Amino acid sequence: MALTDSYVLWAWVLLLMFTATGLYVYRSRWLPFISNMIPEQAYHRLNPSFESDMEAGLSSDDFNLSGNLAAGDSRGGLDLASKKEVLRIMKGQRVNFDEARQIFMEQKLLKNGIAADGRPMDPRAVFFS
C-alpha cells in the first residue's frame, strides 16, 4: 500500500511540475487575459496630481510633467480615464509610456473616423492640395 501511495504522490508532483513549466513558458499568452480581467482595482489609488502621475510612470522626455510641477500648476493632473487606459496599455502590451500614449491616440482617432496620418477615413472627403 505504501508503494502505491508513493506513485500517486510522484504522479502529482510531476503533474504540478509540468503544469507550472507550461504556464511559465506560455505566460505571454495567458497573462494579458488575467490583467484585463481586473483592471479597475489596480487603478483606484491614482491621485489627481501631476506628482502622482510622474510616480505612476506617466512622464517621459517627450512628455515631461516636471515643468508643471516646477511652475506650481494647480490643475488636478492628467485626465483620469485617459490615464487608466494608458496604464492598461503599458501593462497589457508591455510598452513604455510614449508608445502607450501613441497607441491610445491612434485608437482614439480611429474611433472618431480619422486615420493614423490625420486624414479623415470618410470616402466622401475631398482634399485640396
pLDDT tens digits, residue range 53-87? 777 777 777 777 777 777 777 676 677 788 888 88
Taking residues 107-127, report their average pLDDT.
84
What phi and psi, each to the nearest 5 degrees, are found at residue 59? -155, 150
Q: What is the pLDDT of residue 38?
A: 56
Q: How far apart, in Å, are the Cα atoms of 54 and each of 14, 17, 50, 67, 68?
A: 46, 41, 6, 11, 11
Distance of CA 85 to the CA centre of its chain: 7
Enter the C-alpha cell of residue 65: 510633467
Q: What is the pLDDT of residue 78?
A: 73
| Residue 129 predicted with pLDDT over 90 | no
Q: What is the pTM of this model?
A: 0.56
> Could you tell me the residue ranges of all domains in the chain?
1-37, 39-129
Residue 45 — pLDDT band, cuts 50, 70, 90?
Answer: low
Taking residues 14-29, report their average pLDDT.
92
What burial class does residue 101 get, using C-beta atoms within 10 Å of its C-beta: 0-12 exposed, 13-18 middle, 19+ buried? Answer: buried
Taking residues 22-28, report their average pLDDT.
89
> How many beta carbons lie within 10 A of that of residue 90, not counting itself?
20
Q: What is the DSSP letter of 38?
A: S
| Residue 46 predicted with pLDDT over 70 | no
Q: What is the pLDDT of residue 21?
A: 96
Q: What is the pLDDT of residue 43?
A: 54
Contact by Cβ (8 Å): 83, 58: yes
Contact by Cβ (8 Å): 20, 27: no
